[in-house]
Amino acid sequence: MKASQTGDLGAGAGARLGLSLIIKDCPLSVAPPLARDLAAHRQGVLLVFAAGVLWSTVGLGVRLIEDALVWQILFYRSVSLSVFLYLVIRWRSPQGVWAQVRACGWAGAIGGLALVAAYAGGIYAIQATSVANAMLLFATSPFMAAVLGRLVLGETVRRATWGAIGVALIGIAVMVADQTGDVTLHGSLAALGSALGFAVFTVALRRGRAAEMLPAVFVSGLLGIAVMGVICLALGLPLVLSPRDGGLAMGMGVFQVGAGLILYTLGSKSLPAAELTLLSLAEVLLGPFWVWLFLGEAAGRNTLLGGAVLLAAIAGNALSGKRRKPPPISP
């Protein structure tokens, strides 16, 4: 298959785009029945939306943690995520877990490190700024992946995507315009750094032509344990947390990250990239809603205005890609 155009893809969706295009290009004699196709599409929508709901709880989970710092949270979350994904990969695949890890190669190692940095930046951002501000800035990751895909992989970026990137930059500028406090501004920069980490992870998987993202995320969990453990020891931070903080952090690894990833992997097989991008907005919109509902945290005016511009850019880019004819499949 020819390389797909990066501007159409949300983070993690590229590996699934080829499957959807192959189904569309099949002759009628071998295509699945319409009813089965519609049922698979509905199931895919529900699974991907459910993944977004789980991912959207990251802000609430971090807010509920009382004393642990980002390094301690990520250490515990990496432990539970690694154990969970080890069991899932071993159950789903006849290959050994470590054989799949070795198959990831350098691309998997680079992607894993990028994911650790993305997780660390994301947790710090949520602790330093509002959840709405952080979640909206996380959503810039597909645009960063588009630029990185152009620079690293030579992938084509559509003119509509360049336009959407320009609009997104305006939205980001509005969001950070009134952030004069160092902590809040640093939180926004950390959120953008987190988005860049997810973009590097996405491009690394495509560089390594990985058809499965679970082993690479498992690698990120192992690297997270090692890196965060060293940082905690270097800073003199205890590795033993309170039952509340430790339970929340480990629960986030299993349910918020791990289970969300499983649902997304299963659901994305039957959905085109444009729909995946639009459904991913559920995570961005629900994240601020949970902290408002349970903790009374509200977003500022600039965050709402700039966020609306940013979401419009993401949705417009996805819809423009949906209307475009899919590229042909090469033998």
Predicted confidence (pLDDT) per residue in 300-328, tens digit: 888 889 889 999 998 888 888 765 544 43
Whether 1 has a pLDDT exceeding 70, the answer reads: no
Q: Which residue has the higher pLDDT, 264 or 251?
A: 251
Tell whether the model's pLDDT for residue 206 goes beyond 90.
no
Share of the chain above pLDDT 70, in %: 85
- Grade residue 32 by pLDDT with cuts at 50, 70 and 90: very low
Q: Which residue would you say has higher pLDDT here, 72 or 214?
A: 72
Q: What is the average pLDDT score of the chain?
A: 83
Extended beta strands in the chain, E state: none
19 has a pLDDT exceeding 50: no
* pLDDT (mean) for 163-168: 93
CA distances to 6, 121, 135, 221 from 248, in Å: 35, 18, 19, 17
Q: Over 70: is that where the pLDDT of 48 sits?
A: yes
In the predicted model, is pLDDT for residue 69 greater than 80? yes
Q: Which amino acid is at 156?
A: T
pLDDT tens, residue by residue, 102-117: 888 888 899 999 999 9
pLDDT at 75: 97
Which residues, in sequence order, are CB contacts of 163 under 8 Å at separation 6+? none
Mean pLDDT of 157-172: 92
pLDDT of residue 9: 40
Instruction: Please give the pLDDT value at position 182.
Output: 65
* Burial class for 99, CB neighbours closer than 10 Å (0-12, 13-18, 19+): exposed
How far from chain centre, in Å, is Cα 80?
18
Instruction: Round to the nearest angstrom and report the end-to-end CA distance of the chain.
Output: 7
